[in-house]
Amino acid sequence: MKLDILAITAHPDDVELCCAGTLLAQMALGKKVGIVDLTRGELGTRGTPEGRIQEAADSAAILNIEVRENVGLADGFFANVEAQQKAIIPYIRKYQPDIVITNAIDDRHPDHGRGARIVADSCFYSGLRMVETFDEQGNRQEPWRPRLVFHAIQDRYIKPDFVVDITDYHDQKVQAIRAFKSQFFNPEYNAASNEPQSYISSPDFLNFVIARAQEMGHAVGVKFAEGFTTSRMLGVKDLSSFI
């Protein structure tokens, strides 16, 4: 299945937090999108790797995204090296996305910046025919390089190069975030668990995520938006494409 957009991020729930609204908005325009999580988030303070995988599936159902895969790299300890790039490249070649969305180029969690770099580099190397990778059936894959790589904005504020209006999809985005019951504020989960609270499990964190979307939206005169950065100059054919 060829996709128009593939979101590749470090942890299950990264996509939900930083670009789920954008994926929903593009799906509404008829674009085919998918998600690839690099790790299972096994170092998370709360939950289990198996639980995170189920929560990711629950979120994908809320987002109505058919394609969600997990590379299985080591949470916290993956590195931007050949072997791990070659674990990511098969997904890029499998889905042949025109656009890849990945983590913030720099952020509070070191996995986010590292994820941004390994994905961007993997997108480049994916276009080199001398880099050999194979599909699930053992067939040699053809090279494929996405046309654009965009970096989301996560915990730390980064001035965006552009924003996407997600006003019509913000409520669905929040529902998808809440599917990660072990990670974010959930009174029922908290009552049944003796796990410690974490940076992201307080009600204040989700309020912050919503406020960030409001801040991005306010900058362009809409209610909610998500911001992105890019290392490549962007251009449009139609000036009316700008909000």
**188-199 burial by CB neighbour count: b if 16+ within 10 A, else e?**
ebeeeeeeeeee
Number of compact structural domains in the chain: 1
Distance CA 22, CA 213 (A): 11
Domain that holds residue 182: 5-241
Decide if pLDDT at 119 tops 90.
yes
pLDDT tens digits for range 57-77? 999 999 999 899 999 999 999
pLDDT tens digits for range 132-152? 999 999 999 999 999 999 999
**What pLDDT, on the 0 to 100 scale, is given for residue 191?**
87
Q: How far is CA 81 from CA 122, 140, 178, 215, in A?
A: 10, 21, 33, 36
pLDDT tens digits for range 156-190? 999 999 999 999 999 999 999 999 999 999 999 98
Distance CA 174, CA 208 (A): 12
Helix (H, G, I), strand (E, B) or coil at 110: helix
* Domain CATH number, residue 163: 3.40.50.10320
